[in-house]
Structure 1
Amino acid sequence: MTGRTQQKMPADLAAAGARFLVADRRDGPALAGVLGGGADLLVDAACYTEADARQLLPHLSAVTSAVMLSSKAVYVDPAGNHVNSVVPPRFDAPVVESNPTMNPGARVYDSPLGYGANKVAAEHALLDSGYPVTVIRASKVHGEGAARPREWMFVKRILDRRPAVFLAHEGQGGDHTTAAVNTAALVETVAAAPGARILNSADPDAPNARQIAGVIARYLGHEWNEVLLDDAAPAGLGDHPWDYRPPLVLSTKASLDLGYEPVGTFAQTIPGQVDWLVKEAAAGRVPGTGDPFLEHYLDYSREDAFTGTRDLPAKGAGAVPAE
């Protein structure tokens, strides 16, 4: 495993005998030092641009199987919209790997319009190389150590003993979840069957926001009111990160046809992240601190203002129209 700081080395990998090599992904000599002896499997989790991809090309002849972790953010709907565009995309069927993508581009890669375009350019550089590179396009990734743990919006409400969870559009919006352990299982399958290809990676189920909230609440033994808001709810009330309607779902048929077996469903794989989040919060390391994205979903002011004007339904489900 490589990275800039060894502190991020997972303890279980270290215990299993894995070795950590300090190397910056974009430092050419450091990259050459890591790959100089070749590799049976190379997994690149930090390939964001065509330049990143081209840095790998001189080393791929000595790699048996290579994987580039990409994203479903590359896909566009029939109107050309993608998950980072101003207008949300609409996919009326599970998205397959041959679905159209953004045009490759050279905008700033960590911008809404540049992220997917740069990923596409990186994909093309690797897939056109002639080497056995598998591009894996994941969706809403969850797992222990996640840099942006979206599920924290529900875990924190439970830790704060919030009496209700508010969900816009009755919680029916969905954005396919992807457990990190399921992607790891797919990488293991690819390692045994090298080839140039694109594969989607997502959980075998595709829960919507209401189901995600319910799974987490049940796991932590919490009962709350479900306030399922209609389309006329005040702006921002009940916002959540999975609000695509119809739900955005990835097809994983190509991965399954390759022999991949998922580790588990969302409900079966999310406990690891939930336990980690609870442990981090107990230690005073509150996830999402300073991240405007997560802080938006943790602002209780709209909920408190709303509950001050009306009674909530009894515990369980309850659709509440906005006045």
Structure 2
Amino acid sequence: MPSALILGGTGLLGRATALRLANHGWEVAVTGRDPRRMPAELAEAGVEHRASDRRDPDALDAAVGEGVDLLVDALCFTAEDARSLLPHLGGVGSTVMFSSKAVYVDGEGRHINSPERPNFGGPVAEGQATLEPAWDGRYRTREGYGRNKVAAERVLLDSGHPATVLRASKVHGVGAALPREWHFVRRVLDGRPAVLLAHGGRGFDHPTAAVNAAALVEAVAGLPGSRILNAADPDIPTGLDIARLVARTLGHAWEEVPVEAAEPGWHPWDVVPGIRLDLSAATALGYRPEGDYAVTVRPAIEWAASFGPTPPWAAEVEESDFDYAAEDAYLAGR
């Protein structure tokens, strides 16, 4: 039975990966600081929880132990995070690091977190230019996040150990700390009669189901090597598509109101021009998605709605995203 250790295995990407591997015959352990946050479905699948702080060297050493066939790092944000792994990789068959499409820049140096949206001119492949790396560890900013991810990637890829970097985008799934679908789910729960869609709902930003990222992890687990792969869903819904899917899933009917400006009607997928990731490299290595966006996001929509209007992430929600007064004023002025 092959063995896997997932650092940050109780988060969205980690838990999906742990569950897939456990259900496919792997001996799986996950780390997390609080055993009480261990998802029940992981425990039921036989996944072991190892209490560990990712940035505590002694705890990391104890968690990795004598080594594993596969090490998945869902908590690698900085060069220092990556360096802390290196002493342990001699006993690891293959390493996978979750990164982000936030590292990519267009010809003008713009990226997804720039004040101006990037324009890549077509599908973004792994050879696309990236931000310059930042080695300062300040990743909790819009500018610093992608730069520190680039630095972490380089440390692992230059280490001489087989490491696969997966660049995900707009991750979704059951267990998200703040599901983006909440933008439309809450409007359904609040009984909104109309949904406003900036740029006519044409915007799109390639999503990644956590279960599809897990499928790619499993595909590369037995193919150790140093590489970068885009990790995303097989299809790319627009904002309009997602609004319709949420309403249909929850049995709600509303008027779809296209707004040609950026406001009102902003939503998390309002990216114009849209961003599409090239999945050719992942597909060539055996990536077979669990399903398309509609199939994989439906459980997450139902899960988010099950909490009602005050979900666990309520304190994290920007109330400006739910400015119904402004929406009503727009509708009245049509």
- Report whether the alignment pairs 1:106 with 2:112: no
- Aligned residue pairs total 304
Aligned partner of 2:116 in structure 1 is 87
Where does the alignment leave 5 or more consecutive residues of structure 1 unmatched? Answer: 311-323
Equivalent residue runs for 1:44-123 within 5 Å: 44-107=73-136, 108-123=138-153
Structure 1 residue aligned with 2:169: 139
SS of the residue 1:290 aligns to: helix
Instruction: Normalising by structure 2, report the TM-score.
Output: 0.88
1:174–1:245 CA contact under 8 A, matched in 2: yes
**Corresponding residue of 2:20:** none
Cα drift, residue 307 of structure 1: 2.2
Indicate yes or no: 2:272 matched with 1:245. yes
Report the more deviating stretch, 212-221 or 40-49.
212-221
Deviation at 1:196?
A: 0.8
Greater Cα shift, 211-220 or 254-263: 211-220
Kindly provide the amino acid, as one letter, of the partner of residue 243 in structure 2. Answer: A
> What is the CA–CA distance in structure 2 between the aligned matches of 1:230 and 1:129, rounded to whole Å?
48
Q: Give the structure 2 partner of residue 314 of structure 1.
A: none
SS of the counterpart of 1:94?
coil
Q: Deviations over 1:271-317 (max 9, x none)?
A: 11112102222xx752532225x43322222112222334xxxxxxx
The alpha-carbon deviation at position 193 of structure 1 amounts to 1.3
Equivalent residue for 1:34, pick from 40, 57, 63: 63
Distance in 1 (alpha carbons) for counterparts of 2:246 and 2:312: 16
Percentage of pairs with the same residue: 54
Aligned residue type for 1:76: V
Check whether the contact 1:176–1:250 (CA below 8 A) recurs between aligned residues. yes
What amino acid does structure 2 have at the position aligned with 1:85? S
The two structures, once aligned, show a CA RMSD in angstroms of 1.3
The 4+ residue runs of structure 1 with deviation greater than 4 A are none
Q: Deviations over 1:129-154 (max 9, x none)?
A: 01111000000000011112110011
Q: 1:258 aligns with which of 252, 277, 285?
A: 285
Find the aligned partners of 1:227 and 1:16 in 2 and give their Cα distance.
Answer: 45
Structure 1 Cα separation of the partners of residues 312 and 331 of structure 2:
26
Paired with 2:33 and 2:316, the residues of 1 have a C-alpha distance of 22
Query: Which position in structure 2 is the counterpart of 1:13?
Result: 42
Q: Is the aligned partner of 1:301 residue 2:328? A: no
Whole-Å separation in 2 of the counterparts to 1:92 and 1:243: 17
Unaligned runs of 5+ in 2: 1-29
